[in-house]
Each structure stands twice: as structure tokens, then as C-alpha cells.
Amino acid sequence: MANPTPSSTTPTPPAANPGRNPKRKRKPKPKAAAPSALNPNWAQLQSKLPHRPASTHLGKRKHEAGHPSPSPAHAEPSPPAETEVKLEPTSDDSSLTKAVAIDCEMVGVGADGGKSALGRVTLVNSFGNVVYDEYVRAMERIVDYRTRISGIRPKHMNKAKEFWVVQKEIAELIKGRILVGHALHNDLKVLLLSHPKKDIRDTSEYEMFRRERKRRSLKDLASEVLGAKIQQNEHCPIEDARAAMFIYNKHKKAWEKSMKEQFRFKKKLKKRGKKKPAESNGNDPNIPTVLL
């Protein structure tokens, strides 16, 4: 019996792809070289650069849609920086106004320089413009210029005016006007002048500015009322007179009202004082009575 032939049902190997060489192997893709392999200094440079997070399309879309990126949780708004207030004139008008402010700087005379004498005097108008500013030659020999406070130096005396000249000019300028200043009794004392009390506006005497019934310095008032820093080093009479005037201007309405009330009350007291003696004469036992 003949050996059986292989069955026709035996699977045959798949036909080879005519476009593909079975003997050719696929080459592996070359790996990207590390930055350090391309440049030995790149790794060192990269470590020094600040790390920046990669931007995403989502964040970009949010930004484009008008949604701001969220701020860090620890970020807080910084407080606004304090701006220094400078005392400058409020107008170009340099004419004499109804109210003028005065400030004097003193020098030391006498044996030990402890006695005060006028060294400089300044007047400003209601707008803060200077209407008078002169150095004054003291009648006695100056022992202490008090430069640390007054700002006056020996060279300023070269063009200084005589005291009597300055006194006369100041008297004419303040006559009939409201005189504003701080501790005005000191300024009037060195000027050897007086001024009607009803026309004096002293920032050291105004009741509204006192603290526990104590007088306060012009420096303290300027800081609180005007927000300005003055008298940091040498005093400037222009700046001090301007500060007193601006403080007065800020409280002028209430201040003038209180002054009117005070003088109205004083007039009533004077009238009552005059009536009392006249009324008491009828009961005076020393005055003889006439019997009818």
C-alpha cells in the first residue's frame, strides 16, 4: 500500500510582502542627546537659571477670556506710601491781606548769651506768600547766634537792618490786621510791640488745639493738622509762619466764631460791672437820705 500523500488541508506559510525585504531589520530611532552631552557648560548654566513653570493652553485660554490668573495666597496688597506734605503758597498773590502770620528767630545777647534779641523776622499773607523777611542787627553784641535752631550766621548780619527800622516797618504792616502766629507773646516781646488782643490768633492758645489743657508745639500741630513735617533741623521762619497761617485757615470759621462769643461775653460782664455800683448807692449807709 502506497504511503499517503500530505493532506491538502495542511496550512501553508503566508505569502511574503513583495514590498518588504524580510532580511532588512528596522533601525532603532536615535535617542536625543542630553544637553550636557551637546554642551558641557549647559547643565551648570541651567542650574543657575530661575525655574519658570511651563505655560499651558488652558491658562492661555483663561487669560484670553478675561479671567486674570489667580494671585498667590501669601500675596498681600502693599500699604500706600506716605507722601510728605510741603507747605507751599496757595496763590501767586503777594499783597497784604486782612490776616498776616509772623515768626521771629532770636539770637543770644548779654554776658552769657542767655538773653534773647531779634535776629530775623518774617511775615506771610493768607496765601503763604512772603510779604516781609529781614535779618535784624541786634542793639547789643551777639554772643550766641543759636544757629542750630535759628539758622542765623554771622554773614547774615552784613546786610541786616537796624532794629528800630525793622520795628517801625513791622508796626505799620500789622496795624489793623489779624496777627497769626505761635506763642506770639515771644515775638511781640522781642519786637517791643503790642497788638490788640481781639486781633491776635495764637495757635498755642486756641482751646481746640490744646491737649489736656496744655499748649502744644507748632511742630506737633503742623504734623497733626496739616500732615507736614517742619523744624526737622534749623528752623525756617517762612515755613513756621506759613504753618501757623495754614492751621488758622483750616479752622478759621470755628475760630472766628469762638472769638466773637468770647468778646461778646466780656462786654456783658463789663456792663454788669458798671451797673452794680450805681444800684448799690441807694443802700449805702454812708450816703444821707433826704426825707420828704
Check residues 9 and 84 and name the one with the higher pLDDT: 84
Q: What beta strand segments (E) does 45-191 contain?
A: 99-109, 115-124, 130-137, 142-144, 161-162, 178-181
Per-residue pLDDT, averaged over 163-182, amounts to 97
Q: Delimit the domains of the chain by residue range.
A: 99-254
pLDDT for residue 52 is more than 80: no
pLDDT for residue 156 is more than 90: yes
Cα-trace Rg, the chain: 46
Q: Which of 58-62, 255-259, 280-284 has the lowest mean pLDDT?
A: 58-62
Count the alpha carbons within 13 Å of 35 in the hemisphere toward its beta carbon.
Answer: 7
What CA–CA distance (Å, rounded) separates 28 from 31?
9
**Which pLDDT band holds residue 37 (cuts at 50, 70, 90)?**
low
What CA–CA distance (Å, rounded) separates 150 from 142?
13
Per-residue pLDDT, averaged over 110-126, amounts to 95
pLDDT digits (tens, 9 = 90+) for 265-288: 777 787 777 666 555 555 555 554
pLDDT digits (tens, 9 = 90+) for 202-226: 999 998 888 777 889 999 999 999 9
Amino acid in position 9: T
Write down the pLDDT at residue 280: 52
CATH number of the 99-254 domain: 3.30.420.10
DSSP 3-24: PPPPPTTSPPPPPPPTTS-TTP
How many angstroms separate the Cα of 107 from the Cα of each of 11, 97, 118, 140, 204?
128, 29, 6, 10, 22
Amino acid in position 118: L
pLDDT for residue 90 is more than 90: yes
Write down the pLDDT at residue 289: 46
Write down the pLDDT at residue 40: 62
- Report the DSSP beta bridge partners of residue 168: none
Write down the pLDDT at residue 203: 95
Residue 245, number of CB atoms within 10 A of its CB: 29
pLDDT for residue 66 is more than 60: no
